[in-house]
Amino acid sequence: MKEKLEEIRQKALAKIAESDTPDKLNEVRVAILGKKGELTEVLKSMKDVSPEDRPKVGQLVNETRADIEKILEETRNKLESAALDLRLATETIDVTLPGDVPTPGHRHPNQIALDEIERVFIGMGYEVVEGPEIEKDYYNFEALNIPADHPAKDEQDTFYINGEMLLRTQTSGCQIHEMEKGRLPIRMIAPGRVFRADEVDATHSPSFHQVEGLVVDKHVTFADLKGTLEEFARQMFGAETKVKFRPHHFPFTEPSAEMDVSCFKCGGKGCRFCKNEGWIEILGCGMVHPHVLEMCKIDPKEYTGFAFGVGLERIALLKYEIDDMRLLYENDYRFLKQF
C-alpha cells in the first residue's frame, strides 16, 4: 500500500511538473484527487485493509493528499504569478500620451470676479441684494443728492427712456431701495449692470457692472470703512496688498475717498501695468451723506453708514490682465476657455 501511494505521489509530481498552465494543473488535480481520482480510488479500497491497519493507512493517504495539494497550490501560484508578469509586461503604455480631460464649460471672468467679491463680503456678514436696471430718476440721482441741475448728471451721460425713467448709471440707487425698506441695521452688497452713453472701445462699454456696498448702523465710522475695504483688498489681491485712501468727491458721501491698492504685479515699485505709479485705483467710497439718510427717513444723529462702489469689469480686467474690454462682451470661445 505504501508503495502504491508513493507511486501515485511520484506520478502526480511528474504530471505537475509537466503542467505549464493552471488548466493543465487542474486536470492533474482531478486525475489524482478528484471523485474518481487515483488517490480517491485508494481510499475507496480501504475496506480491504485490515481494521487495525486502517488508521495508519488512512494517515498515510491523508499525508500523501496534503503533500500533493501543497505542491499543486505552490505550482499554481507560480504559474499564475508568471502569467501575471507576462500580462503586465505586454500592457505597458505610453504615459506621456494626453489625458482624457472632461470638457465642462467656463465661467465668464466678470462672474469669477463677482464670485470672489461676494465670497469676501458674505464672509463679513453682508447680504447680496439686487435693484432694478431700468430705474427712476429719483433713485439714480435725486435721492443720492444729485438734484436736477447738478453737473454730475451730465458727467454720467445717462441713457433716458423718458423724463422719469432711465437706465441706471450706477448701482448706488440700490442703497436707497435698501434704506427705504426701513430695516436697520444694513450690511449689503448689490452687484448689477449699469449703463452709460460711452462709445465702445478698449476701455469703455455702454454697459458694464458695479458692485455697490452699504453699511448703516449705530456708531459706524470712517475707520470702519477703511478697515472693511482694506480687508476686502487683501482677500481679493493678496495678503501683501497695501491700500491708500485719497480724498475725493461724490455727492452722496461725505467724507469721500478713492481707494488705491498697491500694484499686484510689481508690489508697488512701479511697472508698466500700473503706469509706473505703484498704485492702482480700485473703488470709490465714503460715509453716507446725512442728507441721503434723511431722505430715507433715517436719523443721521442716531445712525451713520458707509458706502462703496466697485467697477466689476475694472477688477476683472486688472486681475486677469485683459487688455481690451470688448473681449468681455464678444464671447469668443478662445477667450472664454481661458477662465
Partner 1 sequence: MNTPLSWIKDYVPDLDVTDQEYRDGMTLSGTKVENFARRDKNLEKIIVGEVLEVEKHPDAEHLVVCQVNTGSDTIQIVTGAPNVHKGDKVPVVLAGGKVAGSAHDDGPAPEEGYAIKEGKLRGIDSFGMMCSIDELGSDVNFYPEADPEGIYIFPADAPVGADAVELLGLHDTVVEYEVTSNRVDCFSILGIAREAAVTFGKEFKPPVIRETGNSEDVNDFVSVEVKDTDLCTRYTARVVKNIRIEPSPKWMQLRLGAAGIRPINNIVDITNFVMLEYGQPMHAYDYDKIAGRKIIVRRAADGDKFVTLDGQERNLDKDVLMICDGEKEIGIAGVMGGENTMITDDVKTMLFEAATFNGTNIRKSSRRVGLRTDASGIFEKGLDPRNASEAMNRACQLVEELGAGEVVGGMIDIKVPFKDLVRIPFEPDRINDLLGTSYSPEEMIEVFEKEDLSFDKDKNEVVIPSFRQDLLALCDLAEEVARFKGYDNIPTTLPGGNAMGGIGLKLRMEDTARQVAEMCGFSQAYVYSFESPKVFDKLKLPEDAPERNAIRISNPLGEDFSVMRTISLNGMLSSLSTNYNRRNPEVKLYELGNIYVPESLPLTDYPDERMQLTFGFYGKGDFFTMKGAVEEFFNAVGMKKKREYDPKAGKSFLHPGRQALVKYEGKVLGYLGEVHPSVCNAYDIKTRVYVAVIDMPSVIEFVSYDHKYEGIAKFPAVTRDISMLVPADVLVGQIEAVFAQRGGKILEEVKLFDIYEGEQVAKGFKSVAYSLTFRAKDKTLEENEITAAMKKILNGLQSLGIELRS
| Binding positions for partner 1, 153-172, rule CB under 8 A | 154-155, 159-162, 164-165, 167
183 vs 297, beta carbon nearer partner 1? 183
Stretch that binds partner 1, among 48-56, 67-75, 168-176, 211-219 (CB under 8 A): 211-219
Question: 185: cis peptide before it, omega within 30°?
Answer: yes
Q: Name the residue nearer to partner 1 (CB basis): 68 or 233.
A: 233
Query: For partner 1, which is the closer residue by CB, 64 or 241?
Result: 241
Report CA Rg, the chain: 42
Q: Is 23 in the site for partner 1 (CB under 8 A)?
A: no
Give the integer Cα–Cα distance in Å for 120 and 114: 10
Return the residue of 287, 296, 307, 325 that touches partner 1, per CB under 8 A. Answer: 287
C-alpha cell belonging to residue 157: 451721460
Residue among 127, 201, 240, 324 that touches partner 1 (CB under 8 A)? 127
Where in 169-188 is the site for partner 1 (CB under 8 A)? 185, 187
Beta carbon of residue 205, minimum distance to partner 1 (angstroms, whole number) = 8
Q: Is residue 336 close enough to count as binding partner 1 by CB under 8 A?
A: yes
Q: Which is nearer to partner 1, 39 or 232 (CB)?
A: 232
**Are β-strands 127-128 and 186-195 bridged in parallel, bridged antiparallel, or unpaired?**
parallel
Applying CB under 8 A, among 95, 97, 223, 239 the residue interacting with partner 1 is 223
Q: What contacts 334, CB < 8 A, 6 or more positions away? A: none
Sites for partner 1 among residues 61-120 (CB under 8 A): 103-108, 110-111, 118
User: Three-state DSSP class for 116?
Assistant: helix
Choices 20-28, 36-44, 53-61, 252-260 (CB under 8 A): range interacting with partner 1:
252-260
DSSP 193-236: EEE-----SSS--SEEEEEEEEEEETT--HHHHHHHHHHHHHHH
Between 75 and 228, name the residue whose CB sits nearer to partner 1. Answer: 228
Closest Cα to residue 307, out of 256, 249, 266, 270? 256
Residue 320 sits in the site that holds partner 1 (CB under 8 A): no
Return the range that interacts with partner 1 (CB under 8 A); candidates 56-64, 67-75, 89-97, 328-336: 328-336
Q: Is the peptide bond before 132 cis (omega within 30 degrees of 0)?
A: no
Q: Does 217 bind partner 1 (CB under 8 A)?
A: yes
Spatial CA neighbour of 233 closest among 305, 281, 171, 266: 281
Q: CA-CA distance, 117 to 165, in Å (whole number)?
A: 30
Angle ∠(73,75,79) on CA atoms, nearest 5: 115
Rounded to whole angstroms, the maximal C-alpha distance in the chain is 129
Task: Report d(CA 322, CA 297) in Å as an integer.
Answer: 43
Can you tell me whether residue 171 is helix, strand or coil? Answer: coil
273 interacts with partner 1 by CB under 8 A: no
Min CB(213)–partner 1 separation in Å: 12
The CA distance from 236 to 223, in Å, is 20
Instruction: Choose, by CB under 8 A, the member of 44, 122, 181, 240 that binds partner 1.
Output: 122
Which residues from 131-150 bind partner 1, rule CB under 8 A?
132-134, 136, 149
| Piece in contact with partner 1 (CB under 8 A), picked from 7-15, 41-49, 85-93, 226-234 | 226-234
